Chain A
Amino acid sequence: MAHTAVAHQHVDHHAHEHHGPQGILKYIWSTDHKMIAMQYLFTGMFMAVVGGYMAYVFRMQLAFPGISVPGFGQVSPGEYNALVTNHGSIMIFWVAMPVLIAAFGNYLIPLMIGADDMVFPRINRLSYQIFLASALLLLASLFVQGGGFGGAWTSYPPLSAVGEYNQTDLGSSMWLGAVALEFVAFLLGGINFITTLMNARAPGMKAYDIPLVCWMIVIASILFMLSVGPLIAGAAMLFFDQTIGTGFYDPARGGDPVLWQHLFWFFGHPEVYVVLLPAIGITIDIIATFARKKVFGYKLMLYTTVATGVLSFFVWAHHQFIAGIDPRMANVFMVTTLLISVPIAELCFVIIATLYGGSIRLATPMLWALAFMAEFLIGGVTGIFLGASGADIYFHDTYFVLAHFHYTFFPIAIIGSFAAFTYWFPKMFGKMMSDTLGKIHFWGTIIPFNFIFIPLFVLGIGGQHRRIYNYEHFPELAGADMYQLRRIATYALLVMLAFQLVFFYNCIMSWWKGKAAGKNPWQSNTLEWTTESPPPHGNWPEGLPNVYRGPYEYSHPDREEDYWPQNEPG
């Protein structure tokens, strides 16, 4: 990795601005990183609405079993399984990844490192097009004969491998194909992020001058590239088992169903960090800006992140403690799993320490960033229960697990995305969002969120197991108190979904007649704030910036102003 300034590599734009497609095609066939970011962003937001609708349907079924859910109808067991399976798949692969990594990675990396585009603009466009195909394939799989795949997002064989068992022959294969295509899209995107960060930085920008959010997205892309290979191999074998009747996972023919679990979780655990790191990067950048503080320990943060990433490759079997692996293995994987609490705690401490001595402004983006920290801590500490093998015997596959990972993924995918969206909205659209509406939306999301998942922790402690469409067959889970908790969670979800209307209203109204943002409304240091809002094609109408210092020189004692843009000489 270059520690000295890398000569800026000028990116060819294929002159499509002048000679390329016109009209609506200009947006569809654009190779501009900002346009591709928007495509990813809006596709991700659309998929979030789909995933949220699914959550609404199955939470209604859980709270009021057998009712005809308004806007869906009665939920059959097969439909229930398809809804929970695709809700999980969508929220991780078609919301968290496209929004946090692809949309903000595409938008921010060139702007924050002072490049005029990605290094491979056409590969970038191909990445989005494959991603769009994967999303359409997934949505189509819900409507084919037999219905959508219902074997959980983990897709364990033999259930996922044999049509006779899952009864969704076509849906299963389409689901798997969609996931595989999505991986191809993110491999192409990841290549671009890594290459661009390494080779296209503005003159003067050294490795430690790169804003942490860019580092985080690039480290996440590296983790993804290193972990996804085994899963793609596993998915190919699963696809063959499904379609041409091979026996990779069939014990009767020498295969092993547990092999899939190893391949899946070897990818699946690093995947958690793939989406976590961008959210942490977003959080730390916003906190530095609104606390007017230098990040406390930039290098510490960077090295800790790398350590977390490396460790994340050695913890996968904690998902399989009771899955029939050699019981001695559980001891090894418990130690590695609990070790990861050290770097993760370190990241949290660094974020908290950055607040110390600050001058904290609670604008909407800052509220989201702080909420990420406050809520993610709950996800973090509850993970220890599941990493401790002895406790996991009881908690495995209960609602405790479900509540735990929603306390990690919701802060990551939803809170992190809202933080980034509200923070960079002025840059992306040139207008300020309404802070009042933003705060109404913030509290209307955060408060119900806790009322959804705290009851689910309690249900999990009560022994409620996952992926059950109706608990009437389990007398100990069918008590009135348990239904009470399920209903609280459902009501809270309805409230939270209703408050999202405020967000969409705020977006549209702000975009339409919001106050002009100007170049740098938050008085931030990083390079994207030194160009116009929104930046034109090529990003830098006044010429490429030069970089003179790191990204977090807030409140420097030698200066009158409490910020010091990276491109300002002196």
Chain B
Amino acid sequence: MTPELLSTYAADIDNIILLVAVLTGFWFVAAEGVFFWLIWRFRAKPGVKSEYLVGNERHVMKWITWSHGLVLICDVFIVIGAVQVWYNVKQRLPEADSTIRVIGQQWAWTFQHPGADNQLDTPDDIFTVDDLHVEVDRTYHFVLESRDVLHSFSVPVFRIKQDAIPGRAITGWFEATGTGEHDVQCAEICGIGHGVMAARIHIEDSGQHAAWISSASAAQ
């Protein structure tokens, strides 16, 4: 069910999700298990009165105190794991091989590719609407902008998502690890055309990508 893993950090994101799933899954099963067991174990029986406990009995309290500490320890593990992933994906910006510009507007994505000279904002830049072309195994910076309202640049196979904000240029990065053609979404509601704001990402090997650049340059 989950989309393919096609970026260098996609597996890291899936792994932190898995870590959280294991830890919270344990708590979920434990809590529900104890809960339903107590309901069954202490169901009303004729002639049996409830125990009168005020809340400081150690034989009950210890279960709360221990669980409490354990929740905190689990939180620490999750924080450490999540910060590592977050730092790698969002905070750090590795050296770029190429830079692209991604511009959201109601209701289309415009992609500005650097062209044959691999420099952005030069005359040979290639502009496309709703089709993003990238080369596999290269580190890209994307400069994300918006012309009107909020949009969110989301590529599920990369596990990346970033809101676009009018008036700002937000830089992020990705490196694809496999070729193919996949969905690009707008993940922030942007008006009545939000549902049609779909694009495709074409991840190509170096030969295909060079061929695309020359054909697209010729067409422009």
**Which A residues have a C-beta under 8 Å from some C-beta of B?**
76-78, 80-81, 150-152, 156-159, 162, 165-167, 251-252, 256-258, 291-300, 322-324, 327-328, 330-331, 334-335, 338-339, 341-342, 345-346, 348-350, 352-353, 355-362, 370, 373-374, 377-378, 381-382, 384-385, 388-391, 393-398, 458, 461-463, 465-471, 473-477, 481, 554-557, 562
Contacts and interface: CB of A to CB of B under 8 A. Distances in A.
Contacts of A330: 86, 90
Contacts of B72: 342
B154 A465 contact: yes
A322 B187 CA distance: 11
B202 to A, nearest CB: 13
Contact of B188 (A156, A350, A361): A156
Contacts of A361: 44
Contacts, number: 283
B91 interface: yes
B2 interface: yes
Interface of B: 1-3, 12-14, 16-17, 20-21, 23-25, 27-28, 31-32, 34-36, 38-39, 42-45, 48-56, 60-61, 63-64, 67-68, 71-72, 75, 78-79, 81-86, 89-91, 106, 148-150, 152, 154, 156, 159-163, 165-168, 170, 182-183, 185-196, 198
A299 B3 CA distance: 48
B86 A390 contact: yes
B159 A393 contact: yes
B192 A167 contact: yes
A476 B182 contact: yes
Contacts of B67: 345, 349
A258 B82 contact: no
Contacts of A481: 1
Given A324-B168, A388-B81, A396-B161, 10 more contacts: A296-B60, A331-B86, A357-B51, A362-B39, A385-B17, A390-B13, A390-B82, A397-B188, A462-B1, A465-B185
Nearest to A326: B91
Contact of A334 (B3, B49, B79, B188): B79
Contact of B44 (A162, A257, A360, A396): A360
A555 B50 contact: yes
A333 B16 CA distance: 17
Interface secondary structure of A, over-half rule: helix
Contact of A463 (B34, B90, B156, B163): B156
B196 to A, nearest CB: 5
A291 B55 contact: no
Contact of A474 (B78, B185, B192): B185
B87 to A, nearest CB: 8
A350 B64 contact: yes
A-B complex: 3 closest residue pairs judged by Cβ atoms: A251-B167, A390-B85, A357-B51
A298 B185 CA distance: 49
Instruction: Kindly name the residue among B36, B61, B154 whose own CB sees the greatest number of chain A CB atoms within 10 A.
Output: B154
B16 A390 contact: yes
26 contacts: A158-B166, A159-B189, A162-B149, A165-B106, A291-B42, A292-B44, A292-B50, A324-B162, A327-B91, A346-B68, A349-B64, A352-B35, A352-B38, A353-B64, A355-B42, A360-B39, A360-B43, A374-B32, A377-B31, A381-B25, A388-B79, A389-B85, A393-B159, A397-B188, A467-B195, A469-B195
A167 B193 CA distance: 11
A448 B48 CA distance: 35
A13 B33 CA distance: 51
Given A349-B67, A477-B183, A151 B189 contact: yes
Contacts of A385: 17, 20-21, 24
A291 B41 CA distance: 12
Given A378-B28, A396-B161, A358 B50 contact: yes
Contact of A381 (B24, B45, B168): B24
B186 to A, nearest CB: 8
Contacts of B75: 338-339, 341-342
Contacts of A469: 195
A528 B212 CA distance: 77
Nearest to B70: A345
A299 B61 CA distance: 13
B152 A397 contact: yes
A328 B86 CA distance: 9
A359 B45 contact: yes
Contact of A324 (B31, B49, B170): B170
Contacts of A466: 187, 189
Contact of A257 (B17, B32, B150, B170): B150
A292 B38 contact: no
A350 B38 CA distance: 13
Given A159-B189, A341-B71, A345-B67, A562 B50 contact: yes
